[in-house]
Amino acid sequence: MNASIMVEHSSISSVTNQEGYFTLRVPESAKNTRILIRHLGYHNKTVPLITLINRPDTQIGMSLSTVSLQELLVVSGDGTELVREALRRIPRNYPAGPNMMVAF
């Protein structure tokens, strides 16, 4: 399913694997917070972290979320300009300094 998992009010996060399993390393001081689970096409879900600490095999269900979009027109164009714009935005879209991430 590859949902994103975040500990509220912190920078601690992870993603699930294809089966929905995930691992979080959370300090003792954060055990009374909640985790936020997000996945495209589903409503966000929050769960008390202590629930998962006490019962690590808890299954968490998510509800489908659909959004109707208004009609739009897709047109072809010159890919060169698109690439130029992407290159121009690199400084704004990527970290300027070292960046560490943990994933599995």
CA pair distance 26, 5, nearest whole angstrom: 12
Structure tokens at 76: 């072809």
> What is the structure's pLDDT at 33?
95
Q: At 36, is the secondary structure helix, strand, or coil?
A: strand
> What is the structure's pLDDT at 8?
93
pLDDT range class, residue 101, cuts 50, 70, 90: confident
Q: At 42, is the secondary structure helix, strand, or coil?
A: strand
> pLDDT tens digits for 12-53?
999 999 999 999 999 988 889 999 999 999 999 999 999 998
Range list of H helices, 1-104 = 49-54, 79-88, 90-93
Domain ranges of the chain: 4-54
